[in-house]
Amino acid sequence: MFELQDVSHAYDGAEVLRVDAWQAAQGEHWLLLGPSGSGKTTLLHALAGILRPAAGTVTVAGQDLAALGAQALDRFRGRHIGIVLQRLHLIPSLDVAHNLLLAQYLAGLPQDRRRIDEVLGSLDLAEKATAKPHELSFGQAQRVAIARALVPRPEVLLLDEPFSALDAFTRADLQDHLLALWGDTRPTLILVTHDVDEAIALADRIMVMRPRPGRILEEIASGLPRPRDRRSDEFDAVRRRVLDTLDRSLDRSSATAIRERLSEATYSI
Ligand SMILES: Nc1ncnc2c1ncn2[C@@H]1O[C@H](COP(=O)(O)OP(=O)(O)OP(=O)(O)O)[C@@H](O)[C@H]1O
Ligand SMILES: [Mg+2]
């Protein structure tokens, strides 16, 4: 479904991303985990065709993105790839339903208000259909951005820290929603996070990245059955393995800081 081959990108002569070879199969759940500046967003932008890497090939659903002109790329993205970026890019002058109708239009799909109401309902946003983006909390706005990405039933869903502004309970709730929606059309899901537990709870495979230049340090397949119990010994064993990998991707002091934050979070629930 996704394939990267010899991809690299640099800003002002400094390489920020290098991936020799990576593939994600249809329907897989991938989580990109890594410290700030390790190239997660850059990699996601390359997968979405938002960024054309300086070198290498990005293939999505059999299509080499570099072979598409700007218009064809927009159409391909609208139809096949759902994206939720760190900046949400909701249109401020349009209400929630019209932001979603616009996504249908841009994907070249017929207007289908029922689909929009269905997705809004599944994300607990039915009452917000006529709200403008500035009338939403940030967590609600994040959910609208997820709804907008899901409306065209994309084969691929790319999400850049979509739960970052949410408290632990809303976050777990939205993760469940996302898994349920994923069960609906089973897109290939690639989600960026800083959160180790979130990665283990959601992912089939975790890609741990390291900075300077951003590259894949390790791919970890958790093998945990679903639904996942964050308090189980098996979950804890994967957590330890991921933290050890992060230890290697970071300098020790920041790895220790992450560990401390994680244990605070565990004990405060
Ligand atoms: N447009 C740009 N111009 C120059 N440098 C950039 C640009 N975009 C990203 N970078 C640099 O590329 C590196 C990787 O950035 P990227 O946004 O991919 O990291 P990230 O892993 O997503 O970080 P975060 O967790 O903070 O979101 C960083 O060093 C960043 O400063
Ligand atoms: Mg980022």
Report residue 267's pLDDT band, with 50, 70 and 90 as the boundaries: very low
Asked if residue 263 is part of any domain, the answer here is no
Does ligand 1 have an atom closer than 6 angstroms to the CB of 37? Answer: yes
> How many other C-beta atoms can be found within 10 angstroms of the C-beta atom of residue 157?
23
- The count of structural domains within the chain is 1
What is the model's pLDDT at position 206?
Answer: 95
Identify whether 235 is part of a domain. no
Output the CA 93–ligand 1 centroid distance in Å. Answer: 29
Whether 266 is covered by a domain: the verdict is no
Q: Examine residue 63 and state whether it is found in any structural domain, yes or no.
A: yes
Q: What is the pLDDT of residue 265?
A: 47
The greatest distance separating any two alpha carbons of the chain, rounded to the nearest whole angstrom, comes to: 53
Nearest CA to ligand 1 atom 13: 37
Binding site membership of 16 for ligand 1 (Cβ less than 6 Å): yes
Summarize pLDDT for 60-88 with one digit per residue, the tens: 989 999 999 998 998 899 889 999 998 88
User: Is residue 76 packed enough to be buried (19+ CB in 10 Å), middle (13-18) or exposed (0-12)?
Assistant: middle
Does residue 230 fall inside a structural domain? no
* Spacing, Cα 10 to ligand 1 middle (Å): 10
Query: Does residue 137 lie within any of the structural domains?
Result: yes
Centre of ligand 2 from the C-alpha of residue 40, in Å: 6
- Residue 158's nearest CA partner among 32, 17, 6 is 32
CA atoms of 42 and 44, how far apart (whole Å): 5
Q: Is the CB of 11 under 6 A from ligand 1?
A: yes
Tell me if 29 CB under 6 Å of ligand 1.
no
Q: pTM higher than 0.85, yes or no?
A: yes
Nearest ligand (C-alpha, residue 32): 1
Q: Give yes or no for residue 87 CB within 6 A of ligand 1.
A: no
Atom of ligand 1 at shortest range from CA of 35: 25
Least reliable range by pLDDT among 27-36, 81-90, 174-183: 174-183
Residue 158 is part of a domain; what is its CATH number?
3.40.50.300
For residues 172 and 227, the answer to whether their CB atoms sit within 8 Å is no
- Residue 236 falls inside a structural domain: no
